[in-house]
Amino acid sequence: MKVLVATTNPGKLREIERILSPLGYKVVKPPEKLEVKETGRTFLENAYLKAKAYHERFGLPTLADDSGLVVDSLGGYPGVFSSRFYSLEFGGKEELKGSADEANVRKLLRLLQCEEDRRAKFVAFVVLYLGEKGFFAEGECRGEIVESPRGSGGFGYDPVFRPEGYDRTMAELPPEEKDRISHRGRALRNLAGLLESCDL
């Protein structure tokens, strides 16, 4: 199946392609970026909004994900605001120096500076929108936030997230190992299994 992925984030595109290609899916990059307002209160709602918008614009089976970091001691933040956490009033806005990813990580570490409980999890919801019907699946990866960024791989909060059972951060893991345990990898494999059971 040819699947349009509703993102222009190069890191996310590479990750999705690495996971879906061996499962028999041809990943297609959108010809242009759509500005979709992520007004949902949950990851699932936002994934649905993106998948629907890209499907209506380009007419292909469309895959969208919404994912983020959930930190226990921050009451679930950044959550659905993970990509723009630095700009929220919650905990005070972080000045945008460098990339948004770097600003998000700086704010997260600042807020956790005096916290003993650094438990967190990555959560992902993926939606495949086909127009007349759709499918969704979820995945998560539990771990904790380390005190300073480590590693140059991945993107987003990967340099400060250490998965359970590992002494390395997500950004220190080889891509194939990260894909095996990541929230997005689990969600995509769950979706592929669902589609297979439905004979799609």
Whether 66 is a known active-site residue: answer yes
Radius of gyration of the chain (CA): 17
Catalytic: which of 66, 101, 158, 179?
66
Which pLDDT score, from 0 to 100, does residue 76 have?
97
Cβ atoms 25, 182 nearer than 8 A: no
Between CA 165 and CA 168 the distance in angstroms is 9
pLDDT of residue 174 exceeding 80: yes
Percent of the chain with pLDDT over 90: 80
Which pLDDT score, from 0 to 100, does residue 78 have?
98
**Residue 13 is encoded by which pair of tokens?**
């595109």
> Nearest-5° angle of CA 67, CA 171, CA 113?
80
Residue with tokens 């059971």: 197
Cβ atoms 96, 103 nearer than 8 A: yes
Between CA 92 and CA 111 the distance in angstroms is 9
pLDDT of residue 200 exceeding 70: no
Range of the domain at 94: 2-197
Cβ atoms 3, 60 nearer than 8 A: yes
* pLDDT tens-digit readout, 102-111: 999 999 999 9
Length of the chain: 200
Question: What region, left, alpha or beta, does residue 70 occupy, with left being phi > 0 and alpha being psi -120 to 50 degrees?
Answer: beta
* pLDDT tens-digit readout, 32-50: 999 999 899 999 999 999 9
CATH number of the domain enclosing 127: 3.90.950.10
The rounded mean pLDDT for the chain is 93
- In total, how many domains does the chain have? 1
* pLDDT tens-digit readout, 137-154: 999 999 999 999 999 988
